[in-house]
């Protein structure tokens, strides 16, 4: 278990260097503000780590926009705050260039592309909803239902304050299973924007079937997509290229995001 804990901690401590820049057309001061650099955890959500970014730039936009909701953009793509940061990077950044260059906006919130996020409470609600959905797949929602309110708070506050031990003291309960059966179904979302117009794919896949431990390759085969049609591909999570023979149960226990889902990105080296 010590080795497992090391893996969990390594994933938890994954960081991305980000360079935030205020959109040129929104600068209202004679001199544009300096960019703001930040190391952000891959596992968290942008609204939980960008308070300092807001304070740095808001003084440089016109006063009537000071109370507007801030939103972020990368190469013309508005960034979905309800996606974990690491997932957004793995989805959108193909050349792995760092620091990640992100544009900050206080104007023209793209309501048609982004959900509103007026407070961190909205992020907490989103996390709890996702955890319940994942637990329904893994344990028919038995674990979340039996957890006390303080356990839910441990999960939220652990993520909010970037405290590994606090988060995992509660999250380990959501990872429990019998050795013979594994999870009932694997909570995952598969992102393949080059192959489908859907934001992601999700379908029922067991961890063990007919006494065989299913692998990442088994999961892909059930997607009914020709992944090789656009050339050699990788399945990436947390910036890691996963071998297709990796057992799904192991991936789910060790590489799930805090929402207990595996967010798997299909990436092509030629695209």
Q: What is the dihedral of CA 166, 123, 121, 35, to 10 degrees?
A: 100
Give the pLDDT confidence score for residue 270 in this predicted structure. 58
Question: Under CATH, which number does the domain 13-105 receive?
Answer: 3.10.20.620
Would you state the structure tokens that stand for residue 212, as one six-digit string? 């065989």
Please report, rounded to a whole number, the percentage of residues in the chain having pLDDT higher than 90.
89
Q: Mean pLDDT throughout 119-143?
A: 96
Number of neighbouring beta carbons within 10 Å of residue 165: 10
- Nearest Cα to Cα of residue 42 among 267, 255, 266: 255
- Residue carrying structure tokens 């989103």: 126
Q: What is the dihedral of CA 170, 117, 113, 263, to 10 degrees?
A: -10
Give the pLDDT confidence score for residue 180 in this predicted structure. 76
Q: Mean pLDDT throughout 12-36?
A: 97
Segment holding 139, helix H or strand E: helix 120-139
Give the pLDDT confidence score for residue 2 in this predicted structure. 47
Please report, rounded to a whole number, the percentage of residues in the chain having pLDDT higher than 70.
98
Examine the pLDDT at 1 and tell me if it is beyond 50: no
Superfamily of domain 120-175: Autophagy protein Apg5, helix rich domain (1.10.246.190)
Q: Which class would CATH give 188-268? A: alpha beta
CA atoms within 13 A on the CB side of 5: 8
How far apart CA 104 and CA 53 sit, in angstroms, is 9
């Amino acid at each position: 278990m010590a080795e497992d804990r090391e893996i969990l901690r390594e994933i938890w401590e994954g960081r991305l260097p980000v360079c935030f820049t205020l959109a040129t057309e929104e600068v209202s001061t004679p001199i544009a503000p300096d960019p703001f650099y930040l190391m952000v955890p891959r596992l968290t959500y942008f609204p939980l780590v960008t308070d300092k970014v807001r304070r740095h730039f808001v003084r440089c936009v016109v006063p009537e926009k000071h109370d507007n909701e801030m939103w972020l953009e990368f190469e013309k793509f508005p960034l979905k705050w309800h996606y974990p940061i690491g997932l957004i990077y793995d989805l959108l950044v193909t050349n792995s260039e760092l620091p990640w260059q992100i544009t900050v906006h206080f104007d023209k919130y793209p309501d048609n592309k982004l959900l509103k996020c007026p407070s961190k409470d909205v992020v907490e609600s989103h996390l709890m909803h996702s955890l319940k959905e994942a637990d329904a797949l893994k344990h028919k929602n038995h674990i979340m239902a039996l957890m006390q309110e303080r356990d839910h708070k441990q999960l939220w506050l652990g993520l909010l304050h970037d405290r590994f031990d606090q988060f995992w003291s509660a999250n380990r309960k959501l990872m429990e299973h019998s050795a013979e059966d594994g999870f009932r179904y694997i909570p995952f979302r598969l992102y393949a924007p080059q192959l489908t117009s859907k934001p992601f794919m999700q379908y029922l896949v067991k961890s063990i079937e007919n006494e065989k431990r299913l692998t990442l390759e088994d999961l892909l085969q059930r997607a009914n997509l020709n992944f090789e049609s656009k050339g050699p591909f990788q399945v990436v999570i947390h910036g890691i290229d996963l071998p297709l023979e990796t057992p799904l149960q192991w991936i789910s226990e060790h590489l799930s995001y805090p929402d207990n889902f595996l967010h798997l990105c299909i990436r092509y080296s030629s695209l």
